Amino acid sequence: MPQPLRLTPIAVMILATLREADMHTYEMVRLLKERRDDRLVPLQKGTIYHTVARLERDGLLAEVGTDRDGNRPERTTYTLLPAGRRAVEEWVRTELPQIDRASDFRVALSEAHNLERDEVVALLDQRRALLVASVDEHRTGLSGAAQRDTPEQFLVELQRQSALLDAELAWQDSLRARLSDRSLAWGIAEIPEHIKKKRHVSKETTP
């Protein structure tokens, strides 16, 4: 029986761009850079073209046409297939509740809008339970170290991690509240029309 396809973070991000519209590889890269997603994964041309080819071979996206602008090389336009949509959603479902794979979580968070609002809230609640357990573990460790008179110079990293976990928990609770009270627009359908129009015009005028 074939093993389930394991997507890389860059593959997830490429597929997710195609949920918005059919586009060619140059446009995918432009959009990812515009959103500063190059902070999350390297956007190297060779890797991206190789990933697109693999996703096409695996039946997650498909060519829908080519175009040429003047003397520039032809550009192939791709569309997202149903299997690609499901693959993105499943990857985000797997990674969003995690606390031990920071780089994958950041990508999952950036693509969490591909899931329904209520499902994201439920996944964040799962993650919250893990965060609370980790916060308690770090506090217990610091308390035990203090009782053993451990010199503080050996605990600065533990103190830092404890502070970061507290901040992470507070931030996540704030995000959950905004999702729950619907003060945060969520999903492509809730993007304002003037932003969608601007996005479309930007695509049409890409050199």
Residue-level pLDDT at 69: 66
Q: What number of other Cβ atoms are within 10 A of residue 127's Cβ? A: 21
- Does 14 lie in the same domain as 82? yes
- Phi and psi, residue 18, nearest 5°: -75, -10
Residue-level pLDDT at 190: 76
Residue-level pLDDT at 74: 79
Nearest to 14 by CA among 115, 114, 121, 93: 114
In a domain, 203, yes or no: no
User: pLDDT above 70 covers what percent of the chain?
Assistant: 88
Largest CA distance in the chain: 74
Confidence of residue 198 (pLDDT cuts 50, 70, 90): low
Q: What is the mean pLDDT of residues 108-137?
A: 96
Q: What is the mean pLDDT of residues 153-160?
A: 94
* pLDDT one-digit tens code per residue, 163-187: 999 999 999 999 999 999 999 999 8
- Does 156 lie in the same domain as 76? no
Q: Is 122 exposed, middle or buried (0-12, 13-18, 19+ CB in 10 A)?
A: middle
* pLDDT one-digit tens code per residue, 132-141: 999 999 999 9
pTM: 0.84
- Residue 9 in contact with residue 91, Cβ under 8 Å? no
Distance CA 79, CA 123 (A): 28
Confidence of residue 207 (pLDDT cuts 50, 70, 90): very low
Distance CA 188, CA 106 (A): 19
Residue 66 neighbours by CB under 8 Å, 6+ apart: 74, 75, 76, 77
In the sheet that holds 23-24, the strands lie side by side as: 23-24, 75-80, 61-67
- Does 67 lie in the same domain as 19? yes
Q: What is the mean pLDDT of residues 139-153?
A: 94
> CA 173 from chain center: how many Å?
19
- Does 38 lie in the same domain as 14? yes
Confidence of residue 201 (pLDDT cuts 50, 70, 90): very low
* pLDDT one-digit tens code per residue, 63-96: 998 876 656 677 899 999 999 999 999 999 999 9
In a domain, 128, yes or no: yes
Specify the CATH number for the domain of residue 93.
1.10.10.10
In a domain, 191, yes or no: no
Query: Among the three residues 110, 138, 172, which one is the final residue of a domain in this structure?
Result: 110
Distance CA 55, CA 16 (A): 12
Whole-number average pLDDT of the chain: 88
- Does 36 lie in the same domain as 20? yes
- Residue 123 in contact with residue 150, Cβ under 8 Å? no
In the chain, how many domains are there? 2
Nearest to 145 by CA among 159, 133, 132: 159
Domain holding 80, by residue range, is 9-110
- Residue 77 in contact with residue 24, Cβ under 8 Å? yes
Q: What is the mean pLDDT of residues 51-58?
A: 95
Can you name the residues that pair with 62 across neighbouring β-strands? 79
